[in-house]
Amino acid sequence: MRVAFAHMGLIHIPLQALFKGLGFEVVLGPVSTRNTLQTGAKHSPEMVCLPFKVTLGNMIESLHKGADTLLFIGAGDWSCRFGYYGRLQCSILKELRYDFRAIFISKNDLRLILTEVLSANGGNPFRALKNSAKSLLTAWIKSKQIETIETLARKIRPVEKTDGQTDSVSRELINRVSKTSSVRNLLKLTRSINQTFKTIDYHKERKPLRILIVGESYCVIEPLVNFHIIEFLGHAGVFAEPFLTSHRWLFRHALRIDDNKLLKNKRALKDASKIWAYPTGGEDQVSIGFALNARRLGFDGVIHLMPFGCMPETAALTVFESIARSGDIPVLNISLDEHSGHTGVCTRIEAFIDLLESQRAARSKVSATTTTGEKRECNVT
């Protein structure tokens, strides 16, 4: 069995370790590129949301690499169309004459999942249990290490003295996490991550603008569709914090572990429920809760990312506009699809940064340059 699944940010690194440890051979296509998006869009319904098109492209590229089993998350038990991706994508791939087996990972099909794991371990329940525990631990450590690397990179990138040094260090460390397989060596690597980041020279006196990024989970996590917004803002001298990362998404949905130190989902949902009584799908209610708390958490602005045509985020759009009109905190709404361009999106973000700098300068009665430091060129493409 040669299994494959869709990419989303760096989620493939812990998932690859998990499935390999369970006894499956993992065959993945390359990380998502514009070619992936174009391939998926070519075979997708025109008005379906952007994540569907990219993930369909992922599956096609994995099949071309030799995968014979595709893993889909959800089987119609999700709160938005995301839960139906697998069923519809399977139909499309079958019509394209691809030969594969589909496995739907769902809380309603736990028996099927256990059967597959047992089969991959030769029918030996003790070996299956041992490998499951070890692979889950390995996946957790890798996911947590990636979370630490991304967190430190977000903090240092806006104030680094040598532009691009943080990116270089991050790529090297993530590559090491990906290639390390034993738990012992991973624990050694954990101890070296903080030390490695301490070698980066940065301007301690700078106080960069702080922007909170909320919205639909895939658009927030996947750099292809959001045009590497975290790095883009960092190179512009702005600290950007996403409300959701691949690590938080994976273990919140898989094990109900809320590992968000910024604001717990329970608090965000409670605060949002006062104006948005229940979630209509995706991350709409959680995003609203984070936006309502953004100023209290020390942010200067909020960027709301959503796929064009996403029903839950479109419904919630009026709430974000209301938050912005209230004067509590500025909000920039960005709708994304396959026709979105780097220049257009980044120009809007740069204008938003100028707005936030002006507002901060007005509040503090000092120049924006003194507050944020020298503004650098945004060179992430």
Give the separation between CA 375 and CA 211, rounded to whole angstroms: 16
Concatenating the DSSP letter of every residue in 314-333 gives: HHHHHHHHHHHHTTSS-EEE
Q: Taking the model in full, what pTM does it have?
A: 0.91
The residue count for the chain: 381
Dump pLDDT digits (tens) for 290-299: 999 999 999 9
Dump pLDDT digits (tens) for 112-138: 778 888 888 888 888 889 999 999 999
Dump pLDDT digits (tens) for 299-317: 999 999 999 988 889 889 9
pLDDT at residue 290 in the model = 95
Residues 235 and 377: beta-carbon distance below 8 Å: yes
Domain spans, the chain: 2-120, 140-205, 207-381
* Overall CATH class of domain 207-381: alpha beta
Report DSSP state, residue 80: S
Full strand arrangement of the beta sheet holding 209-215: 238-242, 209-215, 301-307, 331-336
Dump pLDDT digits (tens) for 33-75: 999 999 999 999 998 999 999 999 999 999 999 999 999 876 5
Give the separation between CA 344 and CA 355, rounded to whole angstroms: 17
Instruction: Find how far residue 223's CA is from the centre of its chain.
Output: 8
Amino acid identity of residue 104, one-letter, is: F
pLDDT at residue 370 in the model = 40
Q: For residue 22, what are the contacts with CB-CB under 8 A and spacing of at least 6?
A: 117, 120, 121, 128, 131, 132, 135
